[in-house]
Chains A and B, each alone.
Chain A
């Protein structure tokens, strides 16, 4: 649902070897962070290593991806951005870069028999990479 809304335009930033992009929930209602089943971020086809990714909430909290599953006490509200931040892959010099984000979600009121996520959405957008001031 709403995959076109995932990547927020013009939010690609780099600072000291790290890269970040702002994202929105591809769902209509707030979900607990424990609902986030899968995250993928690549830039110009270069994967940002998952183990380097930090999930930053709108409230300034920071979670490694493997810290999300137990957080059924923390919510991603439908109007709030989250930020994915990870190690900057080696990018060729270019005016603009293609950002690709994959988000998988468990939907807590549709418990799947085999534990499979119910939502798997992706978005691609092209934008400038802005260095931190």
Chain B
């Protein structure tokens, strides 16, 4: 597939309730209230949830929840996109789960997707290519597609993802794919994190150094596991050298496992296998642009390479940003995505019926 011959893509707009974590966690809004507000503000039609976030006792889900969820979809007209499953290989303290245990751990989560009507299940990198192959018949039987999330510090060129790509090409199944998370290919540290540090009265010199250090590691593609570990220690040391011990740990984790250095063009490697996308972002500036995730560049690549699948707007700024309303900032990012798509000669699909028709979902 090349940019010149492929038909232009028409990505489908949507949102993950993960973006609204603060409203949920603080008990300000119930699950049905969140879903209804997403619909009322027209942030769909795509709707994604994380099982272990939104559903008590997940993956044990009773029929009442299934019925209520399906009624809620009927009422709001939203289209279920991806169910976030978790590959909790580190569940136990005494040892990692074996491959057999991890495969068994994923099965009931996949079945919940089937029951709730989600066509896609997000899985995570502890699931190996062999595990993925063993889960393929489970996914086929459930009529769902398993999407491996590519999330910082990974990027498409990371050996873990390349090994999976190789397996996908061998198996050639439409029930296996990737879910790009745009946090893998960022352009700088979020300005809102630096703003948060200013509000916390962190030394301005340290804030400037954090920005400078991340930039100094940028431009050479995504990190290897070893580079991530080394930078984790260096970021923590940097904070400690300014006496900011209280932020050393979180800064190091954020800077090395959320803000990815991958090149936007790396997505081309896996885009034919992309079944859904996490449209990760942290902030939208006063001009309506995203200073830290290159949304226009990403959408241009998506459109020109024929991507007509779903994009869940995923606002992660809530980790530190407690001064902006999540619903408002989601709407701003979606306006940017629509504009970017139009600038690239296409448009985003925002109509539920059209979204279903394009994807062949009932």
Contacts and interface: CB of A to CB of B under 8 A. Distances in A.
B27 interface: yes
Given A28-B21, A109-B126, A111-B126, A78 B53 contact: yes
B50 A113 contact: no
Contacts of A52: none
Given A2-B25, A109-B90, A30 B53 contact: yes
A28 B92 contact: no
Interface string B106-123: 000000000000000000
B27 A79 contact: yes
A28 B326 CA distance: 15
A109 B124 contact: yes
Contacts of B93: 34, 69-70, 72, 106
Contacts of B318: 2
Contacts of B100: none
Contacts of B126: 109, 111
A77 to B, nearest CB: 6
Interface in B49-100: 50, 52-53, 56-58, 86-94, 96
A94 interface: no
Interface in B135-194: none
B230 to A, nearest CB: 12
Contacts of B319: 1-2
B26 A29 contact: no
Given A28-B21, A79-B27, A109-B124, A34 B56 contact: no
A77 B50 CA distance: 13
A32 B92 CA distance: 9
Interface in B298-350: 318-319, 322
B25 A109 contact: no
Contacts of A118: 253
Shortest beta-carbon contacts, A-B, top 6: A111-B90, A108-B88, A29-B52, A69-B93, A108-B90, A29-B53
B24 interface: yes
A64 interface: no
Interface string A91-127: 0000000000000001111111100001111100000
* Most chain B CB atoms below 10 A, which of A108, A110, A111: A108
Interface of A: 1-2, 4-5, 24-25, 28-30, 32, 34, 69-70, 72, 75, 77-79, 106-113, 118-122
Given A2-B22, A28-B25, A72 B96 contact: no
* Most chain A CB atoms below 10 A, which of B92, B229, B246: B92
17 contacts: A29-B50, A30-B52, A30-B56, A34-B93, A72-B92, A79-B24, A79-B56, A106-B93, A108-B91, A109-B86, A109-B88, A109-B126, A111-B89, A118-B253, A119-B253, A120-B249, A121-B250
Contact of A79 (B25, B50, B246, B253): B25
Contacts of B92: 34, 72
Given A29-B86, A109-B88, A111-B89, A4 B322 contact: yes
Contacts of A119: 253
Contacts of A110: 90, 257
A15 B126 CA distance: 46
A77 B56 contact: yes
Contacts of B88: 32, 108-109
A32 B53 contact: no
